[in-house]
Every structure is written in structure tokens, then in C-alpha cells.
Structure 1
Amino acid sequence: MGTIATALNELRSAQKSAKGVSLYSRFVNRPVGRYLAAGSYAAGLTPNQVTVISAAFSFAAVAGAALGTPSWTLGLLIWLGLAVGFAFDSADGQLARLRGGGSPAGEWLDHVVDCAKITALHIAVLIAFYRHPGHFGTATDGWLLVPLGFQLAAVVTFFGGLLTEKLKPRPAPGTPAPTPSTLRAVALLPVDHGVFCLVFLLYGGGSAFRWAYSALGAASALFLLAFLTKWFRELSAVRR
């Protein structure tokens, strides 16, 4: 227990900047991930092993969404698997910092798993819409385009954000972290993965899930346009 307490104390001073992070990730996912990272450290796990644990929870939930019969109980289990997987996704990076820093291979594995999870989750919803049109009210083929559009927006946002961070110049050593904006943190909630996971609590609600999922998909598309504009302007100002 002492090891966990020591790890938690060290992690509190080794957090990434909260700039551009939604309220859910900032006040729910990162703190939960901190406890998981401390427990993983005490158990002697490596960051890559924690990434694999995250993938196991996430893809079990994806399989349930694609192959299971929609119900309130299944929706709760899907949300739980995705939420735990997301928390472990935060824990692997925190554990890496606690152990003195990550590795290129570890960062690669983390991003590949994240990309696969995002892609597979929307494929699972597409399969569910196709298999259970009576439950979700998706008998019209046009509804099958919603998961495809949502997937496109989510993947481009994920890739664009990563690439922007790689191309932007790093701040000089000792530069203080920017003060996070509470208003921005609230505004980013519709595109936070943790908030997206919550929509599966409506999985047994038929059309309620379809409309909630579609609303988040529309928000994702609008945010993508805003992000692309912002990132392009930022990179246009970079001089090499």
C-alpha cells in the first residue's frame, strides 16, 4: 500500500497539461487513470502491458456491441468496458512517466490501439444498425451512413491532432504550461471519448440510442471543421 501511495504522490506532480482537455478527461478519466497507474506500478506491470489491458476491455465492449442483442444490460456492460478501457488508456502514459519516460514502441502501440478502437467501435454500431433495424429504427439504408460519417470524422480528428502535435515546434524548456480554459473544457465535452462511451447506456432504448449517437456524430463533424481550420492556421504560421 505504501508503494501505491508513493506512486500517487509522484503522479500528482507528473501530469500533462490540461489545455485542450475536456472536463470529463480532466476530472474523471485522468484521476481514475492515476489510481490505475499507481496500482499497475505496485503490481510491476509495464506501460505496454497496461495498454494491452486497455485494449482487452475496449475490444470486448466492441464485440458486445457488434454481436450482442441490444438491451439495457448489454448497454451497461458496453459502457463499462469502454470506460474502463479508456481509464487504462490514460494509465499507460502516466505509468510510463512514473517509470521515467516512455519509449517510441510504447507510444506507437498506444496510438495504434486507439486508432483501431475508434475505427472498430463505429463499425460495431454499423453492424448493430444492420442486424437490428427493428430495434434501432434503422430499416432505411440511409441510417447506415451515420456510423460511416461518424467514423470518418473521428479518425481524421485523431490523425490530424496527432500530426499537428508532431509538426508544431516544441516549447522551450522551462516554458510554463498554458492555463486551461474551463469554457473550452466544457465545449469539448461532445467530442470526448468518455462522453461518447456514455451513449451506450441508451443501447437498450432503440431510437433513443440512434438519435443520441447521431447527435454526437453531427457534433464530431462540426468540431472536425473547426479543428482543421485551427490546426492549418497554426501550422501556416510555423517557419522552418
Structure 2
Amino acid sequence: MESTGTVLRELRGAQKSSKGVSLYSRFVNRPAGRLLAAVAFRLGLTPNQVTSVSAVFTFGAVAGVALAEPSWWLGAAVYAGLAVGFALDSADGQLARLTGGGGPDGEWLDHVVDCAKMILVHVAVLVSFYRFGGPPGGAWLLLPLGFLFVAVLTFCAGLLREQLGRSAARGAAASAGAPASRVRAVALLPADYGVFCLLFPLLGAPAVFRAGYAVLAAVHTLFLVAFLAKWFRELKALRAG
């Protein structure tokens, strides 16, 4: 069997384009996923098995948010589970490209887990706000519902943009050749799931967590508006072409 170092070198040559990827995903999550993919390869795991392990870490962390009273230790544990789950979410695709073991079933499973993650993490925050208190009046309970709406709409609209765009080979080829922008990678940081995960260590300070959660919700809403306008223009241009 190939050494871990050899596998890592092969994985570096099997990376997706960095175009449209934030600095966190490019320099933190993908390298972590590459290491986990190498370990999974050495253990003989399939990409779908890695996706399943990712779901265990992610959903275990999400359950902690909903079931346990906010504290510093809970925040650390939740962040660890979410971060490892996110890295494994990168590892399954890298392993699939390395081994050629990917397929429609793996892509489908990956998207199902991603969608469930986006829904449940905000539902868990809603449950936590309800069970463990917050400012009087209950208005804070509307915040996770709004963030959930934004997250799901962004995910679904982006996925549709990708799928519909695949039918235009010329547009796809032009996109693949475009270089990755460092400025864009920095600008996308607030919309990165990995940056969102960094909010959870603040669970030990509920007021600070709520404020940070509200700020990210507002930022994600602005990104959604910008993304929807951009994707609509791109698809309209593909039709015109």
C-alpha cells in the first residue's frame, strides 16, 4: 500500500478549482480534509463511508447545541464536532477523486447530508434559545428561523445554478479556466460555513453568541441577495449565448 506521504502528494494533484472558494476553505478546511482523506484511504474507507462519519460528527455536535445548557466546554465540543465534520465533508470528495470511486449516489448523499446540516444547526440554535432563555419577549426566536430561510435558499439556489450551468459546456469551460481571486476569497469569508462554526465556542457567553449569530445572519442575507442577482445574470447569459 502507498505511504501516507505519497497519498497526500496524489491528493494535492486531485483538488477542485479554488475559484469562488474562501480563504478558510482553501487554506484550512481543504488541507485538513486532504489529511483525513489520506487516512481514510489507508484505512480502506469508501467516500460514502467518509460522508457518513462526517454526518456523525456534525449531527452529534448539533444535538449538543439543542440538548445541553450553553457553556464554554459545550462550545468547545460543538466547535470540534462541526469543524471535524466539515473537514470530513471535504475529505469524501477528495477521496472520490483520488480513487475514482465517486458517483451519482455519493454526490446525492453528500448533498443530502449538507442540506440536513444546514437545517438542523439553525433548528438546534432555535431550540437552545427557547429552552435556555434569552431576552424577554421571545423575539430572538425569529432570528434562527430567518437564518434558516437564508441558508436553505442560498444552498438550493446555488445548487440549481451549478446543475443548470452544466448544460452549457462553453460556459463551464470558460469558468474552469478563470484564475482564483485572493480578494474574492477574503470577501467570501463571512459566508463560509467554517467561519460560521467559529461562532460556537462563544456558547459560554450567550449574549455574545446571540449578537455574533445576528451579525452573521445579516451578512448572509446580504450575500444571498448578491448571489441571487449574480446567478440569475449568469443563467440568463447562458441562455442568450
In structure 2, how many angstroms separate the alpha carbons of the residues matched to 1:154 and 1:105? Answer: 24
Contact 1:58 1:86 in 2 (8 A): yes
In structure 1, how many angstroms separate the alpha carbons of the residues matched to 2:81 and 2:65? Answer: 11
Tell me the residue number matched to 2:182.
182
Specify the SS of the correspondent of 1:237. helix
Opposite residue 233 of structure 1, the aligned amino acid is R
Question: Residues 146-185 of structure 1 correspond to what in structure 2 (within 5 A)?
Answer: 146-168=143-165, 169-171=168-170, 177-185=177-185
Tell me the residue number matched to 2:208.
208
Unaligned runs of 5+ in 2: none
Tell me the residue number matched to 2:199.
199
Tell me the residue number matched to 1:138.
135
Question: Residues 1-240 of structure 1 correspond to what in structure 2 (within 5 A)?
Answer: 2-133=2-133, 137-168=134-165, 169-171=168-170, 177-239=177-239
In structure 2, how many angstroms separate the alpha carbons of the residues matched to 1:107 and 1:29? Answer: 19
Specify the SS of the correspondent of 1:238. helix
CA displacement at 1:141 relative to structure 2: 1.5
In structure 1, how many angstroms separate the alpha carbons of the residues matched to 2:176 and 2:145? Answer: 40
Opposite residue 152 of structure 1, the aligned amino acid is F
CA RMSD of aligned residues (A): 1.6
CA displacement at 1:101 relative to structure 2: 4.8
CA displacement at 1:2 relative to structure 2: 4.4
CA displacement at 1:197 relative to structure 2: 0.3
Contact 1:58 1:82 in 2 (8 A): yes
Opposite residue 98 of structure 1, the aligned amino acid is L
TM-score (norm 1): 0.95
Unaligned runs of 5+ in 1: none
Contact 1:129 1:138 in 2 (8 A): no
CA displacement at 1:34 relative to structure 2: 0.3
Opposite residue 218 of structure 2, the aligned amino acid is A
In structure 2, how many angstroms separate the alpha carbons of the residues matched to 1:3 and 1:173? Answer: 35
Opposite residue 163 of structure 2, the aligned amino acid is K
Q: Which moved more, 1:2-11 or 1:70-79?
A: 2-11
